[in-house]
Amino acid sequence: MMCVCVFVYFGQMARVCWWFYFSKVIELSDTIFFILRKKNSQLTFLHIYHHATMIFNWWAGVKYVAGGQSFLIGLINSLVHIVMYLYYGLAALGPHMNKYLWWKRYLTSLQLLQFFIVTMHTTCNLFADCDFPDSMNAVVLTYSLSLIVLFSNFYYQSYLTKKTKSI
């Protein structure tokens, strides 16, 4: 099995990783605003865990391993966030947009697909001859597995249990 593994300390990919890290700092601000506005219904364990840990994970990624593997994870996550913020932007336009927002379930599926791709790629890199440190691969693998568990639970609670309750 062939795995793509590029490891660059300096250069363009490292800069892109830094900007991605900076975007995670901005995303954490929405959690802070939820707290300040006392919107506790939007503060789930998943939300707080994900946003708080992304700051530390990406700080370490940018400081120690900015480049190939980190770049791929940031690229995939950025694509998912484009779709996610499109959804939230449409939802913010008001209730008349609800008829166009039937695809929220698929957005969660896309997030899960992202974590499965990262998990497979990271697992592959653990067995490949790759300059990306195995210790960081282990951290990424553990983190992506934790997100699979948490997002799967969210999917189950949001889309599967509500359907069986209404039947």
pLDDT in tens, the chain (167 residues): 444 444 444 467 777 778 888 888 888 887 888 888 887 887 889 988 998 898 888 888 888 877 667 778 888 999 999 999 999 999 999 999 999 999 999 999 999 999 999 999 999 988 988 888 889 999 999 999 999 999 999 999 999 996 555 55
C-alpha distances out from residue 78 to 20, 113, 125, Å: 8, 13, 21
Q: Residues 50, 51, 81, 96: which is the catalytic one?
A: 50
Active-site residue flag, 81: no
Residue 6 dihedral angles phi and psi, to the nearest 5°:
-120, 135
C-alpha distances out from residue 138 to 40, 41, 42, 142, 161, Å: 33, 33, 31, 6, 33
Identity (one letter) of the amino acid at 79? L
Contact criterion met (CB below 8 Å) for 116 and 152: no
pLDDT at position 17 is: 78
Segments making up each domain of the chain, as ranges:
13-159
Looking at residue 139, the DSSP 8-state letter turns out to be H
Looking at residue 20, the DSSP 8-state letter turns out to be H
Count how many Cα atoms sit within 13 Å of the Cα of residue 158 in the half-sphere of its side chain: 15
